[in-house]
Chain A
């Protein structure tokens, strides 16, 4: 149980285009989903926190107009990188917190590798 999927697993796009990444909780409802970014040889850095039905909360330095997050249901959150540029190339990972669980473990998706040419 507690499986989180991401789609696509990798994507290559041209500079200036927009890319949408989906994060789904497959067998549980997720009240909160988190989006992280990881550059090579670095640790995960939180980008934003999204709660179902409300606006996402962005970390300092993350442009909300560039990284659009939609958490329309308890099983789906999407991250759209708008007008992508080469410096946006990174490994994007989502995680979901299991609704109703007493303990705060989070389950992570497999990640999406974005390469912007």
Chain B
């Protein structure tokens, strides 16, 4: 699976959009971009995933650049409860037997 690079930490004002970047310059054509988050002392929570088109769900939007070498997770209206570590993971979709490899992620702090 391709390696990802994320900023160590970010701050965001409550109510504003939080834009979390991720670089995955070695991504291959059959690899998807997944985002998870982990709130303190809880298990990781699935947010969204995509291949090349932008995706949106009730939690967030995922913007993937045309060359797929980077992506941005957008939380449109961040709340205090969105404070968490956000993990960007790249992997093949049908890799049934293998796990997700978690890097250090981005620690997002939503400030009142």
- On A, residues with C-beta under 8 Å from B are 4, 6, 31-32, 34, 36, 43-46, 49, 51, 91, 93, 95, 97, 102-111, 113
Contact = CB atoms under 8 A, between A and B. Distances in A.
Greatest chain B CB density within 10 A among A32, A105, A111 is at A105
A111 B99 contact: no
B43 interface: yes
B32 A103 contact: yes
A44 B102 CA distance: 6
26 contacts: A31-B96, A34-B99, A34-B100, A36-B102, A43-B105, A44-B44, A45-B102, A49-B98, A91-B41, A93-B44, A95-B43, A95-B100, A102-B94, A103-B32, A103-B49, A104-B32, A104-B91, A104-B94, A105-B49, A106-B99, A107-B46, A108-B36, A108-B44, A110-B43, A111-B42, A113-B41
Interface of B is mostly: loop
Given A43-B104, A46-B99, A49-B98, A102 B43 contact: no
Q: Which 6 A-B pairs have the closest CB atoms?
A: A108-B43, A44-B102, A43-B102, A108-B44, A34-B99, A46-B99
User: Which of A44, A105, A113 gathers the greatest number of chain B CB atoms within 10 Å?
Assistant: A44
B44 A104 contact: no
Nearest to A108: B43
Contacts of A6: 43
B93 A43 contact: no
Nearest to A47: B99
Given A43-B104, A46-B99, A103 B44 contact: no
Contacts of B32: 103-104
Nearest to A46: B99
Interface in B87-112: 87, 91-105
B89 to A, nearest CB: 10
A96 to B, nearest CB: 11
Contact of A104 (B38, B92, B101, B105): B92
